Amino acid sequence: MATILAHRIRLYPNDVQATYFTKACGVSRFAYNWALAEWRKLYSDGIKVTEAQLRKKLNAIKRECFPWMMEVTKCAPQLAVKDLGVAWTNFFAGRAAPPRFKKKGMHDSFRISNDQFVIEGDKIRIPNLGWVRLAETLRFDGKILGAAISREADQWFIAIQVEMPDPVPVHDGPGDKAEVDLEEAIKDRVKPHQALLSRMRRLSRSMKRKTGARRKETPSNNYLEAKKELMRLHARVADIRGDALHKLTTELTREHESITIAPGEPRPDRRRATPRSMADVGFFEFRRQLEYKAKRAGGRVIEKS
């Protein structure tokens, strides 16, 4: 058996490399939206289409119709259309909502296949771009399947997918059972959203007062700077939340072989405050991390009804 894990590492590109990443994100977003528009049009006409057919069509016309796509890796548009195919598959299987058009500046990212980059220590080499510095070395040792490069605020990250064999189960603790009350776990952990909520509100109000906050207005430099600062704050909240979650789930799966999750019911006097606390940590992500870490440690997770 094998497990696919992703190691997310911060990138430190220079100005030329960051411009390349921005272009690749734009190409990926355009290809996704173009394929979604084509898919909807053909589907409304009663014509069934696959992502492979759309990728073939895009390849045939991009040199003449979209020559700027040639400035970045071929993976950016091709894998974006593949992602659309997965989105439609999930929709028809009832696992997700129908795919929507992507917006500029919202979750900017693009994917590259494993033959398009080489990792050596704390550097990654991408064709036509050169070596880009990584914040740390790759933790996982296995077959590299691919990577996704994304932007958060003004920072760039790469998530490298690695296929690894399941390790021999080892527990540092006594291997006993534990029951986790989600509400109590949240109380004892970092609450980044609550701690930074007043600053978020202040920045949001400040941004709304600047030129560009309304539709059809050309964004001013002050508006763009305020927006960037707010995005940095959201990214900081996400980093604090992720760090707290990983520490908690790693500690639980190392010390206990069987973990029962008791979501917990909010008490009447705290009913209004609980949803914010719950959202601060995120029950879905908490459970996801517990499940894959417990599996690798040879344990199990039981959700109490």
pLDDT, averaged in runs of 10, over the chain (305 residues): 84 94 96 95 89 94 93 94 94 90 90 92 89 92 92 91 75 61 64 76 86 81 86 83 84 82 53 53 77 82 75
Distance (Å, whole) CA 167 – CA 187: 33
227 and 147 in one domain? no
Specify whether 114 is located in the same domain as 230.
no
Task: Residue 118: give the domain boundaries.
Answer: 2-165
Number of separate domains in the chain: 2
62 & 180 share domain: no
Statement to judge: residues 200 and 150 lie in one domain: no
DSSP 268: G
Is the pTM value of this prediction over 0.85? no
Residues in CB range of 294: below 8 A, 6 or more apart: 253, 259, 300, 301
The pLDDT of residue 66 is: 94
What is the rounded CA–CA span in Å between residue 66 and residue 9? Answer: 32
Closest Cα partner for 4 from 113, 140, 139?
140
Verify that 97 and 197 share a domain, yes or no. no
Q: pLDDT (tens digit, 9 = 90+) per residue, 149-193?
A: 999 888 999 999 999 877 666 555 555 677 776 666 666 666 666
